[in-house]
Every structure is written in C-alpha cells, then in structure tokens.
Structure 1
Amino acid sequence: MRIAFFVNAIEGESPLFTTSLLAAAALSRDHEVIYVTPDDFTLRPDGALVVHAKVLPSKKFKKPETFHAALQDESLQRRTIEIGEIDALLLRNDPSLDLAARPWAAHAGILFGRFAAQRGVVVLNDPEALALAQNKLYFESFPDVVRPPALISRNIDEIRHFVESHPKGAILKPLQGSGRRNVFKVNSASKSNLNKVFEAVGVDGYIVAQPYLPEAKAGGIRLFLLNGQPLKHGDTYAALRRMPARGDQQSNICAIGAAAPARITDDILALAERVRPKLVADGVFLVGLDIVGDKLLEVNVFSPGGLWNMRELYGVDFSNPIIRAVENKVAAQAVSKEGIDNRMLATL
C-alpha cells in the first residue's frame, strides 16, 4: 500500500510530530510512504493529477530521530506519481501556518484532496470536513451543551460587554488560527487594556471571546477519537492532560505546557458521544478534542498531535491502530464495485 502524507513543509517536520510517528508506523507495516507539500501537485491538461513526491526508503526505523534524518535527507528520491497510484492521502497540514506568508498554500490540501477522492484515493480527514473546519466557526456548529458560550465579533463594544458580563475573565483569540498565538486572558474591560488586546488579536480578523473556565488552572485534556470513537488500547485511552506553565492560562504543549496522564471519566466519554454524530457525518477520521472541565474548547481536525507524549506517558504506541484503520478503509474501497463515498469511508 502507498500512503501519502501531506504537510506544510518537509523542513518544518519534527521527529516527535504525530505525522512522523504515523509515517514510521506505516513503514514498519511494510507500506510505501511518500511526503507531499502544497508545491507538489500538478493537474495536467488531460485531467491527470500527479504529485512530485519525496519517497521514503523502504526500511523500519526504530528511533524517531533516525526517521527524521531520513526524511530531511536532501538526496532522497523524488518521483512523479499519478494520484490513482496512491492508496491513501493523509492531510496533515496546519493551514494557519501558511495564511500570512503564502495564503495560496493554506488550502491546497483541501482543493487537491477533493480531486484525489474523486479518483478513488482514500483521503483522510475528508476534504469537505476540513473545508467546514477552516476556522473556529465550525466549533459553533456543535451542541450548545458541550461548549462554553462564545461571541464572535470585530466590534470592540460588543467584546467589552462580553468581558464585563464574565467577572472571572474571558479568553480572546483569533477566529482563524491555531496554537497559542494571540490568545489572551482578559480580566478587565478597562479601555486601555482591552484596546491593546483587541489590536493584537484583531490583526488576524474576527475575534472569538469565551468565558475563562477556572478549571483550566488544572490543565485541559486532549482525547483522540478515531472513526468517531475514543481511541484506546486495552484500558488506556489515547489522551493526555496538558498542564499550563505556572502563571500562564495556556496549555499548548508545543509552546509552554507539559504533558501528564489523563483520567477519562464517564462525563468525558459522554461529551465525546454528544459530538460523535456530527464528526461521523462530516467524515472526520482522526480528531483531537480539547476539554476543560465539562466543556469542549477546541475540535482539532487538521493535524492533532500528542501521540509521542502518550507513548512516553503510557508506553503505548497509538500509531499502529491508526494505520490499521487506514488499511481497512483502503481494503473496503478496493472491494467496492462502484466505490464508496469518501466522506462515508472516512469513518467507516
């Protein structure tokens, strides 16, 4: 089986990225692995779609650093491959990383992923689902009961009123974006304070305001869902608690937080069950749910990370069951006489 991993840029990949672990797991299961970036698609006049892909050597890598060194090798073979010769395309880019410097690249995966799916390639997550989730408005389509109330606006008077109505504080963040860039906790709606935050966050467009949840001091939980169900191995869930640094309300591990084991309660599983129908209907194969207290704060559908932290915390590698699920989808597509709709196949 040939699996393609679509990323923002190969030089931007890290040994401990979830994408790297998935690619190494695919190689260990004797699949061919190729990497594709926004620069690598060509749609020819005859309608043929090809990729100019970087092909990984067919070998098993015991250490993530060794795999990463092979990926970064400038002498690594590049091949032009017709899209129909790819069995599965995993869209693992983060559009927000490209929006400022090269906006044309931000949605290349979605656009060409649609063409790939039309040609029988299994594309995960489904491109139409990713198109829906290009910004945090997607989050507002989930049931009210699972998420905190939010205001989305560029009107500073509306935002000031929202902050004033939440005495425990509010979180302001850009509607478009990921990570902790331009995310602020605001305790006061004083003119000078709010004006500065409004200016910083508003440079990215619309602003999302949410009430600050005091439970965030204890960290938030990221729980992975696969095919709409919590991913687990035995009794161990693919989940972690992301602990904020002292004096900081953020818990983004890549920025400042630390990973700790997470206890998955019945309430958390019930929350996951409430969002499952929409995720399945949208064709979301792999997703990371960020949960604080009894509320969902983020739905990460583009490139959810954390598998390496879970491997370190629990001694469990969740990469293999994810690749097995991809194998099952490719097999189902292969035996279907008329082909299965990609959105349905994504969570089959």
Structure 2
Amino acid sequence: MMEKIMIKLGIIMDSIKSINFFKDSSLAILLQAQKRNYEIYYMEINSIYLYKSTPKAIAKIINVTNNSKNWFNFYEKIDICLETLDVILMRKDPPVNNEFIYVTQILEHVENKGVLVINKPSSLRNYNEKIFISWFEKYIPNTVVSCSYDVLYDFLQKNNDIIIKPLDGMGGISIFRVTKNDYNISVIIEQITNFGKQLCMAQKYIPEITLGDKRILIINGKPAPYCLYRIPKSGETRANIAAGGYGKVKKLSKNDWKISNAISPFLKKNGLFLVGLDIVGNYLTEINITSPTCICQIEKESSISITKMLLNSIEEYLDI
C-alpha cells in the first residue's frame, strides 16, 4: 500500500535536462523530497501564468532518481492552480530580469493564499544579491556601487587593487581584478558599465581569496555548521566552481559564526528561507538568495545533510 503523500511541492527552476547531476542543489533537494513521498510539480519560469487573480502553471509531475544517466522522468502534465500546493521553491538562476520579477509578483498571490514560497517573492525583488551586503556594513570590505567612470576610477586609486563585477551575474561571469596601474582600466569600466549606463559593484581586493571563498548555507535562520571553501585554480582570481575553482569542506570558523549569526535573524524575518553567504577572509562579499548552491559538495564531505535540514524546517513550518 502506497504511503500517504505528506506534501505537494512545486519547484521553479531552469531546465532540469541541462543540470550538472553531481553538483545540482535543486536536484539534491528533490531527491530528498521524493524519499519523503512528496508529490513534486516541476515548472519552468515560462510555465507560470495568472488568470484573473488566480496564479496557475502548466506543471509536470516529476519522478527523480539518483542515476547520472537518467535522473528524471515526467509522467503527467497538468494545468494547476498554484494555491493547491503546500510549498513552492523558486530556484530560477539569475539574471533577475523582468520575467523573473513578473513571476515573483504572481507568486505573491500564491503566498497570500497561504502557500509557503521559498524564498519570499518580495524579498527576491527587494534584495539584489550583491547590494544586499550593504545592509551589514560592519562585515563588508570597502565597496562601491556605481556606473560612473570617475567614481570607479577614484575608488581604484584609493584602494590600489579591486574586484569589479556586474550586479546580476553568477558563476564568476564578467568578474575582473584591476590594479592601480592596469593599462586596461578604461576599457574594463566601459564594458562592465555599458559606457556608464549600468551599475556595477567594486570591492577592495581581499588577498585571502587564494585560500578560498567560503559558501555558508543558512536554513530558516540557522547556519549549517560546515561550509564549502571554493579555491581558485592557479593564476585565477575567481573561486567559483563554474570558473574552475575546486571545493573543500570545512567547519565554520569563529568569524564565520559571528557573521552568520549576525545576519541570520534578518534573513528569517524577511522570509529568506535558504540563503548562501559568501565570505572571503573576514569579509562578507555576497548574499545569495535566488538559487544557492553547494549543497551536494557539503553533504558529500561532511556529517550533515543540508537537504534534511531544509525539509525538516519546511515540515516544521507547515506543522506536518
């Protein structure tokens, strides 16, 4: 006799066909959900729609397997009212463009009907993953957000060695390290700001990046006790795994706990249920809220299960 389904879970993500089976955090969450007999509704961003004031989707009921050659199977396509679900995971990767924003507005209707949406739609709109760190000035390096050549050039002259990155990027894309005497200063600033039309972020270079960029996961206000050090390959500034870095799991340091515990209450208060903090040396550099990764690596090399922590927290929230 089949077990009673505990929870109807929806997930909005990029195509499951193109994920990295060994590293994809969304798949890891779905595998854990399936172990608990959740019914899983798979959606991509273009399948969400609003009929009058009713949020709906063309969803596919999905079965996932721990098989690197065939990790999913769709077995029913259904036009559903999203309010019939218990929880929805919004796991669409950046950029946070107009389509992303529109879907968060639709998801807010779902939230108002009592469905738990992770992460909270209004917070996904309100907090850019780069600018978000400015709420916690005490823990961040020298940082400026601007599209002005003069402002960025002056920041470089004062700090000598900086990192410049777009506000909507991920995976280390278009991140530049620039030094005071670099001959390419002008062209880098022109390109990353689209000739003064797009804001970017510049931060003082933190030498400890050679030891790794730490990804710390926060689940409903509770930091996981292990983090992933993403260590740059030789000759590279970017530590992102997607940019060729490699991972090493370690326990949180005293400073990691200090920063995580200081930020966690704010995250929980604002409905940011699953968050990835990026820390380099003693500094907070980003707060990832769209689709935080590194779950697989941490689970593989430590004694904890991030996916169990997450689903336990969801079930506690839903009082199931």
TM surpasses 0.5 = yes
**Selected match of 1:122 from 116, 119, 126:** 116
What residue ranges of structure 2 are gaps of 5+ in the alignment? 1-6
Tell whether 2:23 aligns with 1:20: no
For 2:315 and 2:103, the matched residues in 1 are separated by: 21
Q: How does 1:196-345 map to 2 (within 5 A)?
A: 196-203=187-194, 205-231=198-224, 237-314=225-302, 316-331=304-319
Return the offset for 1:66: 5.7
Structure 2 residue aligned with 1:113: 107
Matched residues in 1 for 2:277 and 2:185: separation?
29
Q: Secondary structure at the match of 1:107?
A: helix
Residue 194 (str. 1) matches residue 189 (str. 2): no
The verdict on how the C-alpha distance between 1:245 and 1:11 changes in structure 2, with shifts beyond 3 A counting, is same
The structure in which a higher percent of residues are strand is 2
**Cα distance, 1:276 vs structure 2:** 2.0
TM-score by length of 1: 0.84
Distance 1:51 1:301 in 2: 23
Q: How large is the RMSD of aligned CA atoms in angstroms?
A: 2.0
> Shift in Å at residue 311 of structure 1?
2.5
**Which whole-Å CA distance do the structure 2 matches of 1:254 and 1:93 have between them?**
17
**Structure 2 letter corresponding to 1:239:** C
Specify the SS of the correspondent of 1:39: helix
How far apart are the structure 1 equivalents of 2:313 and 2:300?
Answer: 22
Q: Per the alignment, do residues 66 and 11 of structure 1 end up closer, same or farther by CA in structure 2, a change over 3 Å counting?
A: closer
**Deviation of the 1:157 alpha carbon:** 1.6
Query: Does the 8 Å CA contact 1:135/1:177 hold for their aligned counterparts?
Result: no
- Partners in 2 of 1:39 and 1:226 — Cα distance? 28
Q: Is residue 14–residue 68 contact of structure 1 (8 Å, CA) maintained in 2? A: no
Cα 1:111–1:12 shift into 2, 3 Å: farther
* 1:179 aligns to 2:171 (yes or no): yes
Alignment correspondent of 2:38: 31
Q: Is the 8 A contact 2:54 2:109 kept in 1?
A: no
Residue 292 of structure 1, CA deviation: 0.9
CA contact (8 A) 1:164 1:189 kept: no
The alignment covers a number of residue pairs equal to 311
TM-score if structure 2 supplies the norm length? 0.91
Name the structure 2 match of 1:55: 61
Return the alpha-carbon distance in structure 1 between the equivalents of residues 245 and 300 of structure 2: 16
Contact 2:171 2:241 in 1 (8 A): no
> Letter of the aligned partner of 1:20 in structure 2?
L
Is 1:81 matched up with 2:69? no
Give the share of equivalent positions with the same residue, in percent.
Answer: 23
Shift in CA distance, 328/109, structure 1 to aligned 2, threshold 3 Å: farther
1:254 aligned counterpart, secondary structure:
helix
Query: Structure 1 residues 189 and 280 mapped into 2: Cα distance closer, same or farther (>3 Å)?
Result: farther
After TM superposition, give the deviation of residue 239 of structure 1 in Å: 1.1
Q: Which runs of 4+ in 1 moved over 6 A?
A: none
Deviations 1:258-283 (A, max 9, x none): 00122311121011112123212211
Instruction: Kindly state the Cα deviation for residue 55 of structure 1 after the two structures are TM-superposed.
Output: 0.6
Flag the 1:113–1:48 CA change in 2: closer, same or farther, 3 A.
Answer: closer
